[in-house]
Amino acid sequence: MKILLASPRGFCAGVNMAIETLETAIRLHGTPIYVYHEIVHNKHVVDRFVREGVVFVDSVEEVPEGAVLLYSAHGVAPLVRRVSAERRLRAIDATCPLVTKVHLEAIKYAKADYRIVLIGHEGHDEVIGTMGQAPDAFTLVDSAEEVDALQFGPDDKLAYLTQTTLSVDDASKIIQRLKERFPQIVGPPKDDICYATQNRQEAVRLLSDEADIVIVLGSQNSSNSQRLAELARDGGIAAHLIDGAGEIDPSWFKGHETVLITAGASAPESVVQESVEWLKSRYAATVEERTIREEDVYFPLPKELRAAAAAVQLPMA
């Protein structure tokens, strides 16, 4: 067996920032600390913080008044911030800056009286937070077929935005269909799909032709991880999205000689290496690291947390 280990893979800058934010908050404030939704969509990361005393909630009302509440990397609606303030919560914002960019675009278009078509997956935490910036302005679509059902006319002021973790190819098709149906529609000057999502998809697209099977490390509720597995399958390659080595099925490898391994942007490198070691120990697999693109993006901790850590001379995580 030969393992092609795709790079870039795993944690992106936004995930690193969110995790470091929560780690620093624990060192500053102790536990329990509350997090609105999962800090990132990964079972291993969430389970680790639960063991450390973090409480993940789906409603601000679940948080005791005056407690510390951290907003996850996926961002929140203004209503969540208002309720947090009313409950005198000490809020720490770990929203990925690339999600914040989409929020600011939404606010700008809404103030200019545009109707906004958001391309994204219904119920995803990021989509909920983005639509919450201007609830009356948004219409959500998930496919070109849903674009065909839109009732807007040629005189409507229209803009589009996208969830940051979509399939680049799928989003492009939907945007193209929007432009065909509504030539007046405008979009952001720079793509909303984040650099890490695009880079990981590019690596799978370029490397999967050399593989017999693709293993994606990531959780089932991770949108960008799902897209990596879908991309491989769209190319006719068997692909499996798993949380770790314990989910690997030996039957996948009958007759397979080359395995491409990658990881979604919220999957720890430790689960990648555990899966590599699992295959090496059972199949004497060799490993070839294949780097498609270098990444050097870094997001600093939220300003309020940097100031608090500096005040007590707490070293950064």
Q: Which residues of 41-71 are buried (b: 16+ CB within 10 A; e: fewer)?
A: bbbbbbeebeeeebbbeeebeebeeebbbbb
Q: What's the CA gap between 102 and 279, in Å, rounded?
A: 40
The rounded Cα 136 to chain-centroid distance in angstroms is 25
Mark the ranges of the chain whose per-residue pLDDT is less than 50.
none
Annotated catalytic sites, by residue?
126
Query: Per-residue pLDDT tens for 8-59?
Result: 999 999 999 999 999 999 999 999 999 999 999 999 999 999 999 999 999 9
Residue 249's identity, in one-letter code, is D
Domain ranges of the chain: 2-11+195-291, 13-96+298-311, 98-181
In CATH terms, the fold of domain 2-11+195-291 is Cobalt-precorrin-4 Transmethylase; domain 1 (3.40.1010)
Provide the 3-class DSSP secondary structure of residue 288.
strand
Out of 3.60.15.10, 3.40.1010.20, 3.40.50.2300, 3.40.640.10, the CATH code matching 98-181 is 3.40.1010.20
Same fold, 2-11+195-291 and 98-181: yes
Q: Please give the pLDDT value at position 313.
A: 67
CATH code assigned to 13-96+298-311: 3.40.50.11270
Please give the pLDDT value at position 179: 97
Alpha carbons 158 and 250: distance in angstroms, whole number = 51
Spatial distance between the Cα atoms of 194 and 187, rounded to a whole number of angstroms = 15
Q: In the sheet that 138-141 helps form, which strands lie side by side, from edge to edge? A: 138-141, 115-119, 158-162
Whole-structure pTM value: 0.93
Burial class (CB in 10 A: 0-12, 13-18, 19+), 235: middle
